[in-house]
Amino acid sequence: MAAPALPGAAGSAVRRLLGAADTAVLALGGSGDEPPVTTPRDPAREAARRELSKRMYHENDPSLLQRALNAFWDWVDRLLSTAASATPGGTLGLLVVVLFVVAVLAALWWRLGTPRRQPTSTPALFDDRPRSAAEHRAASEAHAAQGHWNQALQERMRAIVRSLEERALLDVRPGRTADEAAAEAARTLPAHTDRLRSAAREFDDVTYGGRRASERSYQGIAELDRDLERSRPILATSTTSTAHNAGQGAAE
């Protein structure tokens, strides 16, 4: 019986088994005139299986993790090979496509900033003890002096809203948001509607959206604060009186 071509210790074990079978054949066969005794296929296979299942033949086998990693890298290699064969230019063309996609993603990240989840509800504008507009302005200027533009912008927006409350242009409402304050203030200060909305949007982006304020954005809100201080509100009674006087003039 010829020994199968198996490498290493496993091959040696099988060859030993087959050699033992040949010895048994010669011992039982007597003279060369009698037919040799052969070992049936199934018992020989079972004996080989028992021999190869011994621990000594598997000491150098790769671990489960190593086999998993090998299978993963084989899959990656097949995937890249398939992609390279389907891409004009082969591997070089695939590399160019990958670099282009990475460049596009980097440009989008730089332009749009870190992706953020929109809050389900906008938190209140004021989150601590009540302070005056002057106190908020002082805190804002202190942050600006240190280059802390996020905090400087936030405190300046709070100073604007607190100032409008102190002038009775807004009612004092602790749970008010920046957007609500801008919309309400625009009714009595319509000339500054767009700037108020823009300031509220920047406040929300910095406070809840993860954006970073700049010196320019802070200076814009600080200038709005100064302009609002000098602006005269258009009250509802004044608007009604003006309309009434205009109507009387038209009647005369």
Over residues 149-183, the pLDDT tens digits come to 999 999 999 999 999 999 988 888 877 888 999 99
Same domain for 209 and 148: yes
Same domain for 88 and 53: no
Same domain for 44 and 93: no
Q: 86 or 109: whose pLDDT is higher?
A: 109
Same domain for 217 and 155: yes
Assess if residue 45 is contained within a domain. yes
pLDDT band for position 246 (cuts 50, 70, 90): very low
Residue 153 burial (C-beta neighbours within 10 Å; 0-12, 13-18, 19+): buried
d(CA 88, CA 106): 24
Q: DSSP letter at 32? A: T
Per this entry, what is the length of the chain? Answer: 252
Structural domain of residue 27, as residue ranges? 10-57
The neighbour count for residue 176, using CB atoms within 10 Å, is 17
Same domain for 171 and 212: yes
Assess if residue 252 is contained within a domain. no
Assess if residue 193 is contained within a domain. yes
How many domains does the chain fold into? 3
Same domain for 160 and 230: yes
Same domain for 159 and 225: yes
Assess if residue 65 is contained within a domain. no
**Sign of the four-CA dihedral 78, 84, 90, 96:** negative
Same domain for 211 and 137: yes
Same domain for 105 and 137: no
Contacts of 115 (CB under 8 A, 6+ apart): none
Same domain for 225 and 139: yes
Assess if residue 214 is contained within a domain. yes
Q: pTM here?
A: 0.46
Assess if residue 75 is contained within a domain. no
Among the candidates 68, 93, 109, a domain finishes at: 109
Same domain for 158 and 96: no
Same domain for 149 and 91: no
pLDDT digits 0-9 by tens, 168-225: 888 888 778 889 999 999 999 999 999 999 999 999 999 888 899 999 999 999 999 9
Assess if residue 180 is contained within a domain. yes
Assess if residue 144 is contained within a domain. yes
Nearest to 221 by CA among 149, 147, 138: 149
The per-residue pLDDT for 233 is 84
